[in-house]
Structure 1
Amino acid sequence: MGHSSMLFEIDDRRILADPVWSERVSPSQLVGPKRFFVPPLALDKLPNLDAVVLSHDHYDHLDPAAIRVLGRTGVPFFCPLGVGAHLRRWGVPAVSITELSWWESARLGDDFTLVATPARHFSGRGLTSNNTLWASWCLLGPTHKVFLGGDSGPFEEGFRQIGEAYRPFDLTMLEIGAADPAWADIHLGPDHAFAAHRLLGGCPLLPLHWGTFNLAFHAWRQPVQRLLEAAGPEVPLLLPAPGQRMDVAAGPLNSQWWER
């Protein structure tokens, strides 16, 4: 859906991650980074969801307008510790919210598990900072497993522990955009994303956090261009256009939409 908003189906569960539908990722819709394109699917056109998963509370990952709409559907929300306070303030019933710390897990039905795993980042909205937790997620179905990285800087021991605990994954999703040497501790960028991918055990890589908002000093196309330069044949890349449906089992996908 753009940036880090993903809709995926894993073993018959439909899960929406980090839903952001607003025009700007900012405390105000009058100023701040503006999206390059309208969301490819309207919120009211989404299929019935089994869960919404949130990585942390930054504006480009947690959108009050989207949460208010989704909260009225009764869908369960899974989030790191402290993020539930935002959700309750925006109308999500407390009974629909599960908050987890790192390495804690929750069940979604009888045979699907969500695990909040570590990341190296920070959190905060407005004038607050680090009052809530941030997380990556392992989504473990009876047949398939997916890793959702959220936002993280290089985190060798953490990614190694996650890989050792839960690989092999059928898909890893890692951020590549909004990278800068000044932020090297909190964002991966393309090269560190490859290092994390290896520590997690390899598999198809779907890069996130680029191509929707201009949040850094580099050209918005630069992260994916660098990713393609650095990728070897052993790393299958999935690079769908915004809104493009894909089947991970079908193999690599490179739509080159950003060059058009």
Structure 2
Amino acid sequence: MVFIIITLLVVAFWTTYYFSTDRLTQFGGNPEGTRLERLKQSPQYNGEKFVNEQETGLSWGISGYMKMLSKWFFGKEIREPEGVIPIIQLTSASFKKESREDLRVTWLGHSTALIEINGYRILTDPVWSKRCSPSTLTGPARFYPVPISLDDVPHLDAIIISHDHYDHLDKDAVRILAATGVPFYVPLGVGAHLEKWGIVQSQIFEMDWWDSVSVTSELDLIATPARHFSGRGISMGSNLTLWTSWVIIGPSYRMFFSGDTGEFPGLADIGQRYGPFDLTMIESGAYDKLWPDLHLNPRQAVAAHLALRGGVLMPIHWGTFNLAYHDWFEPPEWLVKEALPKNTRLAIPRPGQTFTVSDPPEIDYWWRYVK
């Protein structure tokens, strides 16, 4: 009888898991054939997987995992907001007024933003799911709904993706957006996921570090280095696909999108090659001493901004999901303390807020009223 009960429980668990991961398709695909042969030619590929230019810690050992569990269950941080985050609800009408003169950004949460650069529209790391997880039942849940529905997203000229983690690459959002015919610019190997989900090859442009592409005669994208890791499997660290940051160059403006990265000398190199930048969008959350190589904290974000020769700094990768062991509101507070003494200009919009880089909004400390 005990054996039967255990068997039924195991079957029930795996059946639930199977369907909650959309029949396991959330995990995506692996590079094969000509795609695999191409990525093997990358200087970032060591014959088995992609690697960073610097030694990067990805294994915590038993003691590290014990510390994580201790922090998770006994930490005193306020990792999720107790109040309601004030979002600005958007519709397609919100983007009807176009400008060929401005650089405007609308923060949609985490690392998802709609960029309007001289009239061209680029969407970064589109994630609309309620959880950044392969399963609809478990994993970090959103603090607030995305300020705009996928059906209301205006015409896009490009979508850029930094890497394949669940908080940056959302299967359902990608499939819906792909139906519009928009091209996807992604790191090497990530195209295997997109093709697995039904996106046609002609819409997928896979790029290695320092590769550049002209989306139009006036809009260029450059895939630039980052220090991170990749994977959508249970281990989350297979590194079978590459990770990138991005440089976006329009007729009148240029900007930098960090994706996920730790500190590394290559940021200054990017700044020397392509800076100065009118705007840098730099991750400033989900950091911890247990993984110092993988994410930037606010002090490091300001240092990266200066190394990149940035004008306005906009923090991303914060205030949307509970992914680390710090207060959810710590990133902007720390960022302000680091940036203001260095005369670094900040833009910290609330979700759904649009701002013009030439005239960024005053810091209103909106997160202080949500705690």
Which range, TM-score by smaller chain? over 0.9
- For residue 161 of structure 1, what is the aligned residue in structure 2? 269
Amino acid of the structure 2 residue aligned with 1:139? I
Gaps of 5+ in 1: none
Q: SS of the counterpart of 1:231?
A: helix
Give the Å deviation of 1:121.
0.4
- For residue 205 of structure 1, what is the aligned residue in structure 2? 313
Instruction: Name which one, 1 or 2, has greater alpha-carbon Rg.
Output: 2
User: Within the alignment, does 1:45 sit opposite 2:152 as a pair?
Assistant: yes
Once residues 113 and 195 of structure 2 are traced to their aligned partners in structure 1, the CA distance between those partners, rounded to angstroms, is 22
User: Within the alignment, does 1:255 sit opposite 2:341 as a pair?
Assistant: no
Q: SS of the counterpart of 1:206?
A: strand
Give the Å deviation of 1:170.
0.8
- For residue 115 of structure 1, what is the aligned residue in structure 2? 222
User: Within the alignment, does 1:148 sit opposite 2:148 as a pair?
Assistant: no
CA RMSD, 1 decimal = 1.0
Aligned 8 A contact 1:40 1:243 in 2: yes
- For residue 244 of structure 2, what is the aligned residue in structure 1? 135
Q: 1:8 aligns with which of 98, 115, 123?
A: 115
- For residue 339 of structure 2, what is the aligned residue in structure 1? 231
Give the Å deviation of 1:253.
3.3
Aligned 8 A contact 1:204 1:252 in 2: no
- For residue 101 of structure 1, what is the aligned residue in structure 2? 208
Amino acid of the structure 1 residue aligned with 2:330? Q
Gaps of 5+ in 2: 1-107
Q: 1:29 aligns with which of 136, 141, 153?
A: 136
Once residues 223 and 184 of structure 1 are traced to their aligned partners in structure 2, the CA distance between those partners, rounded to angstroms, is 15
Once residues 362 and 209 of structure 2 are traced to their aligned partners in structure 1, the CA distance between those partners, rounded to angstroms, is 32
Once residues 305 and 191 of structure 2 are traced to their aligned partners in structure 1, the CA distance between those partners, rounded to angstroms, is 29
- For residue 52 of structure 2, what is the aligned residue in structure 1? none
Give the Å deviation of 1:257.
2.0
What do the CA deviations read for 1:215-244 (whole angstroms, capped 9, x no partner)? 001111111111112222510100000001
- For residue 282 of structure 2, what is the aligned residue in structure 1? 174
- For residue 243 of structure 1, what is the aligned residue in structure 2? 352
User: Within the alignment, does 1:85 sit opposite 2:200 as a pair?
Assistant: no
Flag the structure with more relative contact order, 1 or 2, with Cα contacts below 8 A and sequence separation at least 6: 2
Aligned 8 A contact 1:149 1:175 in 2: yes
Normalising by structure 2, we get a TM-score of 0.69
Q: SS of the counterpart of 2:121?
A: strand
Once residues 253 and 19 of structure 1 are traced to their aligned partners in structure 2, the CA distance between those partners, rounded to angstroms, is 27
- For residue 162 of structure 2, what is the aligned residue in structure 1? 55
